[in-house]
Amino acid sequence: MKKMKNFYAIIVACVIVLLPVFVHAEVSQPGQTEETETTKSLSAGEEAVSGEPAEEGVGEEVVPLDPLESWNRVIFVFNDRVYFWVMKPLAKGYNAVFPEPVRVSVQNFFHNIATPIRFVNCLLQLKFESAGIELARFGLNSTAGFGGFFDVAKNNLKLQSQEKDLGLTLGHYGVGTGPYIIWPFLGPSTLRDTVGLVGDGFLSPLNYVTPWEDAFALDATQYFNYASLHIGEYEELKESSIEPYVALRDAYLQHRQSRLKK
């Protein structure tokens, strides 16, 4: 509990300290559109091929709101080093000890425990059917799925998880993304998603585990387990891009935008 308070205190302090900078930066961006909170440029499709419509799905060329780019790039390099020098070797060792089915089950367990986050955000978005699915999934997976280690709801009944969080809920009600931020260890985010992360934290049962050593152990397990199942994805992004910082930023913002539309 103490750990959770400290974490939130740091995040909240950062947000409070940086908020005026973000607000100023947002105001000072020329040509900003309300819809995407980015500076609008020209329609790539229109200008690229005379008479051709802008490509559906690609949309207009936009310049992401990234007033903290210099700082973000420093953290990007830091996270890159942490991943390759610490996380990846540790995750590989973890993989060697625990076979993939075990790690998938562990991930299912943590995903099941986080149901309150998705359930409450479905309700906040007035998506009652989605909330019902989350509730049904929790009931099924917690019982027939042996405490959530097996995702029987998805595998047997095709009940897909409703991936909702507070960042998306805020977006659902028209709150803009705010500036792009990369947090040490946590990776890419935006001001809106950071606020969402803090709010969601209050709904996560893991943040109420005591003593703090147990909570830390659970967090670390979840972190490494997740990393162990996603080794290679970051490498793929780096390999297929010529500007990894921009690629990660654009991929994150596009991905969040696509989830908002669902």
What is each CA distance from 99 to 110, 229, 260, in whole angstroms? 17, 10, 34
How far apart CA 63 and CA 93 sit, in angstroms, is 40
**Measured from the CB atom, is 190 or 207 closer to other proteins?**
190
How far apart CA 68 and CA 203 sit, in angstroms, is 29
47 binds other proteins (CB under 8 A): yes
Range 86-145, binding other proteins (CB under 8 A): 100, 104
240 binds other proteins (CB under 8 A): yes
How far apart CA 19 and CA 17 sit, in angstroms, is 6
156 binds other proteins (CB under 8 A): no
Question: In the set 44, 90, 123, 186, which binds other proteins (CB under 8 A)?
Answer: 44
163 binds other proteins (CB under 8 A): no
The one-letter amino acid code at 64 reads P
Smallest gap from Cβ 8 to other proteins, in A, equals 29
**Measured from the CB atom, is 123 or 250 closer to other proteins?**
250
243 binds other proteins (CB under 8 A): yes
64 binds other proteins (CB under 8 A): yes
The answer to whether residues 62 and 38 touch, using CB atoms and an 8 Å cutoff, is: yes
257 binds other proteins (CB under 8 A): yes
15 binds other proteins (CB under 8 A): no
Half-sphere exposure of 179 toward its Cβ, with a 13 Å CA cutoff? 23
239 binds other proteins (CB under 8 A): yes
13 binds other proteins (CB under 8 A): no
35 binds other proteins (CB under 8 A): no
How far apart CA 197 and CA 106 sit, in angstroms, is 22
Question: In the set 35, 52, 213, 214, which binds other proteins (CB under 8 A)?
Answer: 52
Q: Is the dihedral of CA 134, 137, 142, 147 positive or negative?
A: negative
Provide the 3-class DSSP secondary structure of residue 244: helix
Q: Which span (14-22, 107-115, 117-125, 253-261) binds other proteins, by CB under 8 A?
A: 253-261
What is each CA distance from 64 to 32, 75, 177, 222, 248, in whole angstroms? 10, 18, 10, 31, 12
Residue ranges in contact with other proteins by CB under 8 A: 41-42, 44-45, 47-49, 52-53, 55-59, 61, 64, 100, 104, 236, 239-243, 246-247, 249-251, 254-255, 257-259, 261
